[in-house]
Structure 1
Amino acid sequence: MFSKKLFLLFFEKFFNEDIKHTIEVATLYVATLGFIVHLVLVFFNMADIIEVHAQVEGLLANPIAAIYTPFSFILFYEVYLLIYYLPRSFSVSIAKQYEIVSLILIRKIFKDISNLDLEDVDLFASENLTLFYDITGFLILFFLIFLFRYLLVSRKNHTVTANIEGFILYKKILCILLVPLFLFLSIYSFSHWVIELNQLSLGVVTTIRDFNNIFYHEFFLALVIVDVLILIASFRYTDRYSLLIRNTGFVVTTVLIRVSFSADGLASILLLISGVAFGVLVLYLYSLYDKIDKGESTRESYAYL
């Protein structure tokens, strides 16, 4: 009983409306400051005041590239919201995953625009096609996220009873564990990229990982593990076939998103779209099944699973 109260107290300390608002405001200030600093570095690079390696020159190529930085900080806030909503609804946390990857894609679009070669007579050059793939992929993702959100707000409401509190507590414990993991991955990923950048300037290595993939490559791997843990725990609280299949489908969609970070170009976009489309289809079929399922034994366990 004491440990339960301790976990709940710890959870409320980091996941309440006041903290969420504070982090939101802090994110806006830091994002603005980051944008200004990035913009100054861009002008320094354009004026040849500073010199950067060719592999990272795209991040300082023109003022448009500076938009990349504020989106990076906004993405960190979205990750916090994903963890924040996890105990309240597994489906909503999955929706936040989709929004995060769409923002990652938007951030990459700004990078693609800054690298766009307008002097190239061949508009269908591989460098220019990347921008086309990303823009098209984002539009499809945006539509799929709309469908997913529409299905969420259209689903049936179910009563939450006392016997589901254990599962809510279980997910809150997962959230508490995700906070230090989130901070560790953030620090580790960025510091590792800085070390690689220094090694690149010294000639120790010839290539470094794309900045667009750092942190999220590892974070979505952690999310796969969390989703599997939630899936396993859900077997204890319901025997409802459609709900178990839905949760299994959400694990699959997270895996596909994670795999997309390991691919490049069009393959990455296709994997990303496939993952989100699979999640939308699973939720749609679940909503159809929910309309015909009249089972009484599991009715009370729907809302928070």
Structure 2
Amino acid sequence: MKLLDLVQQAYHPLHEFWESRRTNYFLSGVLVSVFVLCMVVALVNYLGWLPTGSLMGRVHFLQAVEISFTLLLFFEMISLVFVIPQSIANSIGKQIEILSLVLLRSSFKEFSHYQFQLPLQSQLESVYKMVSDGVGALLVFLLLSFYYGVQRHRAITEAGDRQQFVALKQFIALLVLATLLGLSGHDLLFLLRSGVWVQSVDRFYLILIFADLLFMLVAFRYTLHYPDIFRYSAFVLVTVFIRFSLLAPVYYNALLSLFSVLFAIAVVYFHNLFTDGRLAYLARNPPPTR
């Protein structure tokens, strides 16, 4: 229990700091500053004042959007960490939100390669990719409202075990946060050494798969109720599908993203049907007393 007490003492200040209005203002300022800085660097490059082979010399105007959006994704991934202790269903919803932003970023990334001096007909493939990712993000956004609409939060633990269960989820969240910061630091060092920006969104979802599995195994300590076991296991599969969509080529990534959200909606909806039906059956046929 001492370890869980230490986890709570570490988690709560971090959560309050991240969710505070002052932090939101600061993060907004960081995003604006990064965008303006990228635009200034792009202008300097346009004037030819930086060597083209250098890291800063490869930044152009349209890339400012992609870079700012990537930083926004990083902030959203940190926000996801603090959703994990709330509920696995909310965590999956936050994963889907990030997925929609990833699709939008992919569309902006394709836009950053667009050449305005060339005719549109010669760049139709690039436009098609932008449309595919943009429409995919829009449909994921639409389906996300249905996902939140069919949710019903039910406590799976007794009142006496609830605090311990939440502390265990907070411990998992802190592990995910440490891993995310480690991945981001590695990406930054790799960028400075090689000049190549390797983004860790897909690897972060791999970490989430293991985190969801750990969450599911921890939940078994408090419930062996079949619908809950199935629900937790299926949510792990949703994370797997989302990661597949991040690795898939263009067009297929949007389709897999939509399938992932539809699968998540089906899991929640059918879990509700099963639970309501079982409760109705037990009401009509109470188990015999021993």
TM-score normalised over the length of structure 2: 0.85
Q: Would the aligned equivalents of 2:103 and 2:137 in 1 still touch at CA under 8 Å?
A: yes
Change (3 A) 1:109 1:51: farther
1:127-153, Cα deviation, whole Å (9 max, x unpaired): 22111111111111111211112223x
Deviation of the 1:187 alpha carbon:
0.6
SS in structure 2 at match of 1:236: coil
SS in structure 1 at match of 2:121: coil
Which structure 2 residues correspond to residues 213-292 of structure 1 after superposition, within 5 A?
A: 214-292=199-277
**Separation in 2 of the partners of 1:83 and 1:236?**
22
Does the alignment pair 1:70 with 2:47?
no
Deviation of the 1:93 alpha carbon:
1.1
Which structure 2 residues correspond to residues 24-43 of structure 1 after superposition, within 5 A?
A: 24-43=24-43
Residue 102 of structure 2: aligned partner: 104
Runs of 4+ in 1 over 4 A off after TM superposition: 53-57, 156-160
Residue 302 of structure 1: aligned partner: none
Change (3 A) 1:269 1:194: farther
Q: Would the aligned equivalents of 1:257 and 1:272 in 2 still touch at CA under 8 Å?
A: yes
Farther off after superposition, 45-54 or 245-254: 45-54
Residue number among 189, 193, 196 corresponding to 2:194 in the alignment: 196
Residue 301 of structure 1: aligned partner: none
Residue 150 of structure 1: aligned partner: 149
Letter in 2 for 1:190: L
Deviation of the 1:252 alpha carbon:
0.8
Farther off after superposition, 243-252 or 22-31: 22-31
Q: Would the aligned equivalents of 1:61 and 1:115 in 2 still touch at CA under 8 Å?
A: no
Deviation of the 1:191 alpha carbon:
1.8
**Separation in 2 of the partners of 1:45 and 1:104?**
27
Q: Would the aligned equivalents of 1:164 and 1:237 in 2 still touch at CA under 8 Å?
A: no
**Separation in 1 of the partners of 2:54 and 2:234?**
42
**Separation in 2 of the partners of 1:19 and 1:268?**
31
Residue 164 of structure 1: aligned partner: 162
Letter in 1 for 2:63: A
Deviation of the 1:216 alpha carbon:
0.9
Change (3 A) 1:109 1:121: closer
Give the % identical residues: 23
Deviation of the 1:66 alpha carbon:
1.6
Change (3 A) 1:4 1:158: closer
1:158-206, Cα deviation, whole Å (9 max, x unpaired): 5962223332121111112222212111110222233332xxxxxxxxx
Q: How many aligned residue pairs are there?
A: 279
1:77-100, Cα deviation, whole Å (9 max, x unpaired): 211221111111111111111111
**Separation in 2 of the partners of 1:216 and 1:84?**
17
1:199-242, Cα deviation, whole Å (9 max, x unpaired): xxxxxxxxx5xx4x612122111111000111122222112222
Deviation of the 1:70 alpha carbon:
2.7
SS in structure 2 at match of 1:48: coil
Change (3 A) 1:56 1:221: farther
Which structure 2 residues correspond to residues 71-90 of structure 1 after superposition, within 5 A?
A: 71-90=69-88
Q: Would the aligned equivalents of 1:250 and 1:279 in 2 still touch at CA under 8 Å?
A: yes
**Separation in 1 of the partners of 2:259 and 2:123?**
25
Runs of 5+ unmatched residues, structure 2: 283-290
Residue 202 of structure 1: aligned partner: none
Q: Would the aligned equivalents of 2:4 and 2:168 in 1 still touch at CA under 8 Å?
A: no
**Separation in 2 of the partners of 1:61 and 1:72?**
16
**Separation in 2 of the partners of 1:53 and 1:130?**
28
**Separation in 1 of the partners of 2:50 and 2:129?**
28
Q: Would the aligned equivalents of 1:15 and 1:84 in 2 still touch at CA under 8 Å?
A: yes
**Separation in 2 of the partners of 1:71 and 1:294?**
46
**Separation in 2 of the partners of 1:54 and 1:295?**
68
**Separation in 1 of the partners of 2:238 and 2:255?**
13
Letter in 2 for 1:89: S
Deviation of the 1:55 alpha carbon:
11
SS in structure 1 at match of 2:212: helix
Which structure 2 residues correspond to residues 121-160 of structure 1 after superposition, within 5 A?
A: 121-122=120-121, 125-152=124-151, 155=152, 158=155
Change (3 A) 1:223 1:90: same
